[in-house]
């Protein structure tokens, strides 16, 4: 006889509290539409009640703009009386927050209707619905993220970020120096604490590399055979990186394009798919001859314009694009080619996979994963051919054709019949309403550059 899930979860809580008698508080976390972590802090004595009964949070949590204000046009605010839904713990996410001075734990939550069914506007549920289509086919998704970020100084210059001084040399970095080990050494204590903190929290971060700009780094997560769990890890990793850096008297940014003239922050995702026997359906000595791989890529490329609002959800997201920064701007694919949107890394035949290279680090991992998997499923079920792989520089061979601004991306998403078959149209309406509200506010603002150009000249 199987043990009821609630009992298993209570056992998890009991074992954790017994192992960590020093814990005073528990942060209950839930990621909103923008991937921003929100929630409540409770005392340890209330943890069992959370596992037994959940906690109440308003449905409007998933109608918040980037500033944390409810977007009423979503219909999830005053129209429903700003009513509560119930949030339950996600198994195996209870862990220590290593940066806290007062011993504190954290626990990821997911929202449900009061009657028990998952809440449609929780991005985790949006992803779960897409994953269920692969479950019906007997397929298991393996996924891993690569997450880029900048370390920045806690003091900005006229509201703009600057690189932090090295704790070792006292100097601010100014050059690119991609993959330079010495730059890892300059910030070694902070970066090592990130890896050790990830290990303590059960986040499978296995490497940090120096990226293509001053004080820019990338954390690689190891693949897991659960795409929802892979997204959980990405959300928790961002929170860990921010707090560990702050402990080291530095700040961080996952903004897509924090510096003009420097590389932006990307969020690449690697995906392979296993059949019922555990075999990688993309495995091949010659990837071009693998039907499943080609069709999966074909579906991703066909739906890529409609995915863009999820991959690049903010006004700033589109400033990241440019050939010199290895950000693809057309639906393209290739074998071991970093100039394309969908790269197939070379290596052993069993390790053949898709690397999706378009999204920025400002994307919500759940929505990014949901949109990419929707494209893969669409391609597999409709046997969509991707065309020939690009050899050489894709930027010289393909004109920019993907939406290059948020308004066009939202229109593509809103008009896509394919995406509406995978992602609840009600959720698409909520997402588009939130982002159109942010876009309207942005377009109503007047920039410093406009004053510099026009105030005394026209």
Domain at 336, CATH number: 3.30.590.10
**pTM summary value:** 0.95
Terminal C-alpha separation, the chain:
80
Q: Is residue 457 part of a domain?
A: no
Using one digit for the tens of pLDDT, what is the confidence trace for 121-135? 999 999 999 999 999
- Residue 167 pLDDT class (50, 70, 90 cuts): confident
DSSP conformation letters of 294-358: HHHHHHHHHHHHHHHHHHS-SGGGGGG-BGGGTB--SS-EEES-TTSSEEE--S-GGG--EEE--
pLDDT of residue 5: 55
Structurally, the chain folds into a number of domains equal to: 2
Using one digit for the tens of pLDDT, what is the confidence trace for 239-256? 999 999 999 999 999 999
Q: 94 — alpha (psi -120 to 50), left (phi > 0) or beta?
A: beta
Using one digit for the tens of pLDDT, what is the confidence trace for 50-83? 999 999 999 999 999 999 999 999 999 999 999 9
Instruction: Indicate whether 294 and 402 sit together in one domain.
Output: yes
| pLDDT(1) > 50 | no
Lowest pLDDT segment from 88-92, 290-294, 345-349: 345-349
CB atoms within 10 A of CB 288: 12
Mean pLDDT of the chain: 94
Q: Which H or E run contains 196?
A: helix 188-201
Instruction: Indicate whether 159 and 300 sit together in one domain.
Output: yes
pLDDT of residue 180: 61
- Residue reference for tokens 């969020």: 267
Q: Would you say 357 and 340 are in contact if contact means Cβ atoms under 8 Å apart?
A: yes
Residues 6+ apart with CB under 8 A from 247: 99, 190, 193
Using one digit for the tens of pLDDT, what is the confidence trace for 174-190? 766 655 666 778 899 99
Instruction: Indicate whether 51 and 149 sit together in one domain.
Output: no
- Give the residue-averaged pLDDT of 428-449: 96
Domain at 103, CATH number: 3.10.20.70
Instruction: Indicate whether 358 and 413 sit together in one domain.
Output: yes
User: Phi and psi (nearest 5°) for 286?
Assistant: -125, 100
pLDDT of residue 175: 65
Q: Would you say 122 and 32 are in contact if contact means Cβ atoms under 8 Å apart?
A: no
Residue 82: give the domain boundaries: 5-113
d(CA 443, CA 437): 10
Q: Which H or E run contains 149?
A: strand 140-152
């Amino acid at each position: 006889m199987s043990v009821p899930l609630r009992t298993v979860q209570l056992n998890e809580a009991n074992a954790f509290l017994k192992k960590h008698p020093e814990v005073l508080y528990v942060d209950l976390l839930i990621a909103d539409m923008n991937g921003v972590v929100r929630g409540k802090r409770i005392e340890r004595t209330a943890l069992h009640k959370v596992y037994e009964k959940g906690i109440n949070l308003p449905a409007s949590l998933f109608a918040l703009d980037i500033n944390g204000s409810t977007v009423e046009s979503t219909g999830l605010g005053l129209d429903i009386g700003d009513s509560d839904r119930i949030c339950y713990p996600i198994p195996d996410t209870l862990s220590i927050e290593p940066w806290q001075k007062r011993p504190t734990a954290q626990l990821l939550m997911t929202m449900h209707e009061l009657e028990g069914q998952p809440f449609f506007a929780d991005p985790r549920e949006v992803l779960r619905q897409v994953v269920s289509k692969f479950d019906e086919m007997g397929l298991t998704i393996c996924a891993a993220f690569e997450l880029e970020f900048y370390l920045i100084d806690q003091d900005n210059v006229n509201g703009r970020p600057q690189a932090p001084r090295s704790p070792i040399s006292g100097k601010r970095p100014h050059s690119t120096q991609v993959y330079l080990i010495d730059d890892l050494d300059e910030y070694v204590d902070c970066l090592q604490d990130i890896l050790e903190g990830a290990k303590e929290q059960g986040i499978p971060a296995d490497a940090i590399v120096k990226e293509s700009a001053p004080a820019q780094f990338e954390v690689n997560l190891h693949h897991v055979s659960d795409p929802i769990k892979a997204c959980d890890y990405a959300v928790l990793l961002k929170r860990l990186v921010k707090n560990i850096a702050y402990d080291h008297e530095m700040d961080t940014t996952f903004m897509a394009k924090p510096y003009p003239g420097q590389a932006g922050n990307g969020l690449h995702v690697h995906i392979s798919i296993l059949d019922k026997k555990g075999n990688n359906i993309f495995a091949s000595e010659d990837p071009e001859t693998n039907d499943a791989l080609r069709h999966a890529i074909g579906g991703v490329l066909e739906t890529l314009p409609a995915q863009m609002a999820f991959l690049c959800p903010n006004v700033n997201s589109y400033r990241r694009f440019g050939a010199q920064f290895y950000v693809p701007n057309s639906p393209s694919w290739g074998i071991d080619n970093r100039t394309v949107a969908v790269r197939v890394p070379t290596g052993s035949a069993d390790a053949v996979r898709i690397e999706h290279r378009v999204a920025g680090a400002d994307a919500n991992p759940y929505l990014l994963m949901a949109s990419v998997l929707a494209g893969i499923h669409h391609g597999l079920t409709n046997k969509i051919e991707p065309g020939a792989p690009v050899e050489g520089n894709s930027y010289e061979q393909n004109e920019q054709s993907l939406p290059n601004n948020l308004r066009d991306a939202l229109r593509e998403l809103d008009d896509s019949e394919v995406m509406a078959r995978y992602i609840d149209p009600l959720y698409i309406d909520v997402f588009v309403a939130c982002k159109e509200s942010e876009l309207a506010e942005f377009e109503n603002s007047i920039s410093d550059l406009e004053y510099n150009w026009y105030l005394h000249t026209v």
